[in-house]
Amino acid sequence: MIAAIIGCAPCWKEDFDRLQSLTSEFDVFAVGLDCPYIGRVDYFVTYHPKDIALYIKKRIRENLNTDFCIISHVPEKGVQVVYAYEKPSGSSSFLAAYAAVDLEYSKVILIGCPLEGQNEKKYKYEVFQKGWIAHNKDLKGRVRSMSGWTAAFLGEPDKEWIAL
């Protein structure tokens, strides 16, 4: 089973198209309120529980599915799976990758999660690289990325890796 972790970086669509050239069989983990993916979502993952209701409303407004499992770090209303927060943070994309590994996905692929640059609030994503480095052992070599720093750190997926 393959998990596609979809973040909101501008490269997400190009990353997603590349994933589809490798495989069409995957479950989707949407990361955060700003996740632009409009297809079927299997999991919604966030370190920001206040975003859960907003994400559901957004999906309803756009007539998209809302029957996904919600994963966070606190047992808030609607959260079905809880993973305790551990410093340093690797961002919600790390939480999604960790959850996918824990849920026994054999391959986990990051899309639109390069952990480079900054968001519109000028928050630098590089700060989250420390979390990936510190907790990399938890990913058991099953996580790869389509772009950016995470691709350099974890490696990029290819057809051979997917077929293993």
Q: How far is CA 43 from the centre of its chain?
A: 9
40-98 confidence digits (pLDDT tens): 999 999 999 999 999 999 999 999 999 999 999 999 999 999 999 989 999 999 999 99
Residue 121 has pLDDT above 70, yes or no: no
CATH level 3 topology of 2-163: sialyltransferase cstii, chain A (3.90.1480)
At position 73, the amino acid (one-letter code) is H
Share of the chain above pLDDT 70, in %: 98
Local confidence band at 124 (pLDDT 50, 70, 90 cut-offs): confident
Torsion of CA 78, 119, 124, 13, to 10 degrees: 80
pTM: 0.95
69-84 confidence digits (pLDDT tens): 999 999 999 999 999 9
